[in-house]
Amino acid sequence: MKRYGIILTTAIISLAFAASSWAACPQPRKTKAAPSNMASKDMTAKANLANGKKLYNKSAKPLACKMCHGDKGDGMGKLGKALKPNPRNFACAETMKDVSAGQMFWIVKNGSPGTGMAAHGKTLKDKEIWDVVKYIRESWVH
Ligand code: HEC
């Protein structure tokens, strides 16, 4: 009987690890909605994809987006895993279907109060925010 106990414990522990390395989808989302004139705005057509990629992975201040949102956009970045609520999982179509480019821009600029998502209005220019929104949408949001 003791051996079954050990096998069961091992199985439970490995399941717990597996679960913690998967991003939830659909992901619970209570993020404040942008004002409707902002939510419907989309300036990504003329935005710079290469610059957005650089901001996401390296140069955005105070932190590169990937530290939390992960290099696959799934919210499983090094710092992101520990945050409650979790960083947005951009790769989850079910959650992202209601999140417009303008909504994303607004939260990146103003932050999501009470969460780990900081306001970037002082560290990124509007143009840079549209660049990074374009990178996220073209990479993962379909
Ligand atoms: C310190 C961790 C952290 C960093 C760094 C970070 N985010 Fe977030 N982000 C979060 C968390 C946590 C949420 C979830 C907020 C919520 O549930 O309202 C979030 C949510 C978002 C959302 C979702 C908005 C919505 O309406 O659902 C967008 C878009 C976003 N982040 C973009 C970015 C971009 C772009 C960067 C880099 C410039 C970035 N984030 C950097 C933690 C982070």
Q: Whose CA is nearest to atom 36 of ligand 1?
A: 65
Is the confidence at residue 12, as pLDDT, over 60? no
CB proximity list for 33: less than 8 A, separation 6 or greater? 39, 103
Q: Which residue, by CA, sits nearest to atom 16 of ligand 1? A: 31
97-122 confidence digits (pLDDT tens): 999 999 999 999 999 999 999 999 99
**Dihedral of alpha carbons 30, 110, 89, 103, sign:** positive
| pLDDT confidence bin for 18, thresholds 50/70/90 | very low
- At 84, the pLDDT band (50, 70, 90 cuts) reads very high
Average pLDDT, the chain: 91
Contact 111 CB / ligand 1 (< 6 Å): no
* Residue 21 binned pLDDT confidence (cut-offs 50, 70, 90): low
Largest CA distance in the chain: 66
